[in-house]
Structure 1
Amino acid sequence: MSLDGTYDDGNIFARILRGEAPAVRVFEDDHVLAFMDVFPQSRGHALVIPKHSAARTLLDAEPQVVGPLMLGVQRVARAVRSALKPDGISIMQFNGAPAGQTVFHLHVHIIPRWEGQALGRHAGGMADLKELQAVAQQIAAQIT
């Protein structure tokens, strides 16, 4: 898909928001939902999505969505840092298929990084559900 297109309310993130698809949730407030990426690039890879937007990309997002989204990203990234003690954290956001976007609902990746540990492939292998749940609990316990 290109940068232009119509929002598909059947995408997996929209289905998660409506409770039609499962997710290992980390954090939720009035504006955002954070959950574990089921195809993680590293241990603790989380996603943050806006709850009240039909934006496919950051370029489509309403200004009133961007601020609360980024505050949610910061809040979850701080919790990832406290819970997992990574050496660094990549915060990524893709716009359009050529840029690596695979789900066309605005979302931000929070990916903990450790020195000497290679980053997995984006949308690579599926994670073990029990491990995702355990890591999500660790992260959620650090959210203030």
Structure 2
Amino acid sequence: MSAASGEGIPVSEGASPLGGKEPFDVAAYVRRARGGPCFVCAVVAGAPGYDFEQVVFEDEHHVAFLDRYPTMAGKVLVAPKAHVEHVVRDLDEEAYLRLMGAVRRVALAVEAVVPCERTYLLSLGSRQGNAHLHWHIAPLPEGTPYEQQQYHALMTENGVIPWSVRQALELAGRLRAVLAPDGAGG
């Protein structure tokens, strides 16, 4: 599906669930991650230019938003609103458990909206780039060949899903509906 098509995001199209990806400029991404502002803080602040990072869940302490460079349809990031950088040392037990509760709630909503075989949860980032603590929720499409699962499925070097702001808005709306207090994920 072309990003310009404006149709819903691809969830399980064609023979290869991971087919149809676009090449990704890793070098440009590294420059942005290491030299630009904190992308999570920018989303929290509502900075302009973050059209793809649609917020799907927010509470007093956390924010969840669509990944700008998804390798799998429905990929969402969950982060504390406060700029913390280490998943273990920077959170006391209460804050860690609260964050993991938010991750679980959003992951259940993703599974309700995006058909998947398994949901990957992982915290990535580094003090060298993308330092703000965030968890990736990545729904593995059903039928993905084993050789294209796990790290292969997560790596932008293997391509990203082409999509438009309109597609991001559609997916975000579906996720927000599930995450609403009266929705299935609330």
Q: Which of the five TM-score ranges fits, normalised by the shorter chain?
A: 0.7 to 0.9
Q: Secondary structure at the match of 1:105?
A: strand
Structure 1 residues 15-43: Cα deviation after superposition (integer angstroms, max 9, x where no partner):
21122243311111111100000100100
Structure 1 residues 39-91: Cα deviation after superposition (integer angstroms, max 9, x where no partner):
00100000001012x31131342214312211110000010111123121001
| Among candidates 127, 132, 138, match of residue 105 of structure 1 | 132
Moved over 3 A (4+): 122-127
Tell me the distance in 2 between the aligned counterparts of 1:95 and 1:68. 20
Q: Which residue of 1 aligns with 2:123?
A: 93
Larger radius of gyration: 2
Question: What TM-score results when the alignment is normalised by the length of structure 1?
Answer: 0.79
Tell me the distance in 2 between the aligned counterparts of 1:60 and 1:14. 20
Q: Secondary structure at the match of 2:56?
A: strand
Q: Does 1:81 align with 2:111?
A: yes
| Among candidates 90, 110, 122, match of residue 61 of structure 1 | 90
Q: Secondary structure at the match of 2:178?
A: coil
Q: Secondary structure at the match of 1:92?
A: strand
Question: Cα distance 1:102–1:131, how it changes in 2: closer, same or farther (>3 A)?
Answer: farther
Question: What TM-score results when the alignment is normalised by the length of structure 2?
Answer: 0.63
Match for 1:110: what amino acid?
I
Q: CA RMSD for the aligned pairs?
A: 2.4
Number of aligned positions between the proteins = 133
Q: Which ranges of structure 1 fall in alignment gaps of 5 or more residues? A: 1-7
Q: Which moved more, 1:114-123 or 1:77-86?
A: 114-123
Q: Which ranges of structure 2 fall in alignment gaps of 5 or more residues? A: 1-34, 180-185
Q: Does 1:139 align with 2:175?
A: yes
Match for 2:113: what amino acid?
A
Q: Does 1:122 align with 2:152?
A: no
Tell me the distance in 2 between the aligned counterparts of 1:17 and 1:60. 22
